[in-house]
A and B are shown apart, each in its own frame.
Chain A
Amino acid sequence: MSDVVVIGAAPDELVAARLLQQAGHRVTVLQEHAVPDRLEGWAPAQIGRLPSKRPDPWLRTPDGLELFADVKRSAQSLRRLSGHDADRWPQFCERMARLASLLEEVYLQAPPRLIDLRFALRVRRLGRSGMEDLMRVLPMPAAELLGEWFESDILKGALGAFAVRDLQQGPRSAGTAFRLLHAHVGSPRGIFRPGTVDVTPLRAGLTIREAQVARIDVRGGAATGVTLTNGEMLPAALIVAGAHPARVLGQLVEPGWIDPDLLRAARHIRSRGVAARARLELERTPEWPALTLAGTADDVERAYDAVKYGRISERPVIDAVADGAAVDVQLQFVPHTAADTADIQARLVKVLQPHLPPIRSVSVRTPVDLERSYGWPQGQPHHAELSLDQALWMRPLPELSGYRTPVNGLWLCGPAMHPGAGVIGAAGHNCVRAMPRS
């Protein structure tokens, strides 16, 4: 069997590499960037047994809101804030779970086409209320969806924060209801926080080399191999790349092979990172497994307003998950150009300190740092922002949504592809499934 080169060593690339290796190819994985040991999301059964860790209560705010894996227990806890919301919570969870199950199905295959009779019939099987939910809810602003169901500003704010995670939008923006659902897919009913998955087992049994790719060599419209920055050439008839399509097609493929219109479109894929991440080492374990400081939906919206004009939010949304005597923190919104970690750290400590045991050390990574270490373009973990115009049949571009590129033998499999980051390895899985048998 011929040689295969996989560019990148994140879960999508590793899954693609393993599937190709299982099909009898000799696969070399080229690791260009570090990959976090644990990633946010869930791993579908098709990828392997990679359990998601979720804090329970999965949501806790300083105002006394606590939501648990157990829907009934959440409702009880909600009753302290609002009897109305407590009554509606189980029904909300059920309706969202039904929509999530459809998305889950769609996520594990190449995206449907926009006008696809089979997909249309599948959607019709949801029944009237399911269909209406789907078509009404997906394009809605999360704030509006939550406003229809609930009255507690605290609840709407916290869920609104999950609906805009890693997205340059506020909860009032259309399409953020889709993101709330995306955060829910793969989780048990009633949980709207993605879990954390230890992805290190995906490396097992693969040949992984640290290397920097300089060029993808093309002859006669077909990929022939990869040239590394040290000049070494690796011949391969099949190349699977996890990097951003603009980099793969615009920088790695030898010039001249890609249609300028496609290149232009690839460069217009929006990839703005909006969050900084931090790890805080503490004197001892905090009392809570997770803490979300979001305020109301308007507070989240105001936090977003700042980033539109290139500023860090005055009151950023902070989401902390405990990991023993340490916490991992996501801080949003931070413009993708921000490089000043001191400023972010000061804001973070000021807000979090009252809720934490004494802090030993803090390490902050801005979107710029995240790009440097993990290769996330502009610090965006999804590579291509996961918004409705860059989702499903549009991901990352309609022309590339089938994982195939105009260069024969060159395929795309990274988070920029359907279904995006968070569904661990799914893009790699779908990519290999999309390849012809030979």
Chain B
Amino acid sequence: MKHDVIIVGGGHNGLACAAYLARAGKKVLVLERRDRIGGAAFSDEVFPGFRFSVFSYVVSLLRPEIIRELELPRHGLQILPLESTLTPLPNGDRLVQWSDHDQNRAELARHSPRDAEAYDDFGLLLHRMARAVKPLLHTAAPDPASLHPGELVDLLRLGRYFRGLPEKDLHALWKLLTMSAADYLDEWFEGEALKGTKSASGIIGTLLGPRSPGTAYVLLHHYMGELDGVFRAWGFAKGGNGSVSAAIAAAAQAHGAEIRTGAPVSRIVVKGGRATSVILENGDELAASTIVSGADPRRTFLGLVREENLPDEFVAAIKRYKFRGSSAKVNLALGELPRFTCMPERGPHMRGAISISPSVDYLERAYDEAKYGEFSRRPYMDIVMPSMLDPSMAPPGKHVMSIFVQYAPYHLNGGWTDARREEFGDTVVNTLAEYAPNLKGAILHRQVVTPADIERVVGLSEGNIFQGELSLQQMFFLRPAPAWARYRTPIHGLFQCGSGTHPGGGVMGASGRNAAREILG
């Protein structure tokens, strides 16, 4: 056997897992189906001279210990912070949240002095909650039903950890887990634009609305991002999110891992309950004592592995695991900067995020349409213009705009077709043009990426950007299936390392890192 470990899939989690295993001295081979690494964390020159993070678009959740331990800056990772979030309003006004405390407070007070007062306390609470949850991100989630002594120890350790937290914090955490973002924010704020924009971070990547219970927790998930120790700071990777993958790949290679692209795996071979090798689409068979799948649970267990090799209840659990991709991406190449009616000048706000989320009701209505299988006629959008931060993304004087859009349900009534994709693209541009009238004239090229496209190109089932919904019944020790949340699988020697495992979601890398630790034992 040439390799100790074969990793199927060269997304950021597969690469992180490879880097950690190689660092520990394993001989690792990563097999990537496409001719480029990165999975959904991938940059491309989509139009001549214009580079985009085609799918994912910001960095906030990437675990700082991964950046540190894998020395990612040395391997070319450079993160440029996003300093503000602009929410244009239909009445021509705006709300800007600045990273500068005083500037932010003044702007909030302009809308509501009460909200300005509450804002700091709110931030402190979420900060504390994120800290309380953080140890959970570092470790495999123990199975509460297990009788295995090792897991019992982990359970007791976890129990002791939580008992050590103030009871008040536990209750606050419970609220976050069970409440809707809208109800949660209603307890703190009154400003519609503020509540709309804050609640938006609770719906990203899910087919849930801001009034759906459970979205308050996703709000926290997005507060967990920490860059350079600053909570809530979102950033943009120089060169696009592909640079994150490239840096992790470089670290893996520096430790001796081999990465092969254009090597689609068709099957994981199981003999006597043990994974022994993988078979590539070209018929080659590669053996290793440990096989790790970075693909999502459905592709891994209902595609790469034959069902008959798995227990029935496990297969049933994987079949009911929910994906329901709901988000799309629109990438625009612009001949000039958009001029937002509410803030037409070329100011620092253009280097931050722009959020089309004027109110909770606006987002909820967008969700109502998606619930019954239509895309939102007036969608939520989260926009960044990477060329403002990193001029190498576009030709001089020109710009790239990355628009994350919800909702675009994977299960669209009638299905996604080229015509529906363009119709959706028009909806996005038309909605945005209401806030920036020069936009339509500025567009040189447009790329629309629907959940169906994400599935087709990257292989994420139903186009779900988190490899499965982050809902309560699919989190912690239930992700992706009860009793199999610790990166192991019912097949000996087969592990999982994708976002479909705990903690999952975002360009975070925690799943890959935790899986490597579990494999190393």
Contact = CB atoms under 8 A, between A and B. Distances in A.
Q: Check if A and B associate.
A: yes
Given A114-B167, A270-B183, A394-B174, A389 B213 contact: yes
B212 interface: yes
Given A124-B144, A309-B361, A140 B372 contact: no
A325 interface: no
Interface stretch (A49-57, A131-139, A371-379): A131-139
A301 interface: yes
Given A268-B187, A270-B183, A389-B179, A174 B212 contact: yes
A128 B143 CA distance: 10
B372 A174 contact: no
A148 B320 contact: yes
A114 B163 CA distance: 9
The listed residue with most B CB atoms (<10 A of its CB), out of A131, A169, A308, is A308
Nearest to A265: B187
Nearest to A136: B473
Tell me the interface secondary structure of chain B in the complex.
Answer: helix
A394 B371 contact: no
Given A268-B187, A393-B171, A394-B174, A387 B213 contact: yes
B472 interface: yes
Nearest to B182: A308
A128 B473 contact: no
The listed residue with most A CB atoms (<10 A of its CB), out of B174, B177, B178, is B178
A136 B478 CA distance: 8
A144 B474 CA distance: 12
Tell me the interface secondary structure of chain A in the complex.
Answer: helix
Interface string A290-319: 000000001001100100110000000000
B159 A120 contact: yes
Interface string B207-235: 01001111000000000000000000000
Interface string B151-183: 000000001001100011011001101110001
A173 B174 contact: no
A206 B98 CA distance: 62
A282 interface: no
A121 to B, nearest CB: 11
Nearest to B168: A398
Contact of A169 (B145, B168, B213): B213
Contacts of B144: 120, 123-124, 131, 135
Contacts of A301: 371
Contacts of B211: 308
B322 interface: yes
**Contact size range, B:** 35 or more
A389 B372 contact: no
Contacts of B472: 139-140, 174
Interface string B457-499: 0000000000000011100001000110000000000000000
Contacts of B168: 398
B364 interface: yes
B368 interface: yes
B163 A128 contact: no
Nearest to A123: B144
B212 A389 contact: no
Contact of B145 (A115, A124, A305): A124
B219 to A, nearest CB: 14
Contacts of A144: 322, 473
Contacts of A115: 159, 162-163, 170
A120 B179 CA distance: 23
B482 to A, nearest CB: 5
Q: Which 5 A-B pairs have the closest CB atoms?
A: A139-B472, A389-B178, A388-B178, A174-B214, A398-B171
Interface of B: 144-145, 159, 162-163, 167-168, 170-171, 174-175, 177-179, 183, 186-187, 208, 211-214, 320, 322, 361, 364, 368, 371-372, 471-473, 478, 482-483
Given A389-B174, A398-B171, 15 more contacts: A114-B170, A114-B171, A115-B170, A128-B145, A173-B212, A174-B471, A268-B186, A308-B211, A308-B364, A309-B361, A388-B213, A389-B175, A393-B171, A394-B175, A398-B168
17 contacts: A114-B170, A115-B162, A115-B170, A123-B144, A132-B145, A139-B214, A139-B473, A140-B472, A144-B322, A173-B212, A174-B471, A175-B214, A393-B171, A393-B174, A394-B171, A394-B175, A394-B178
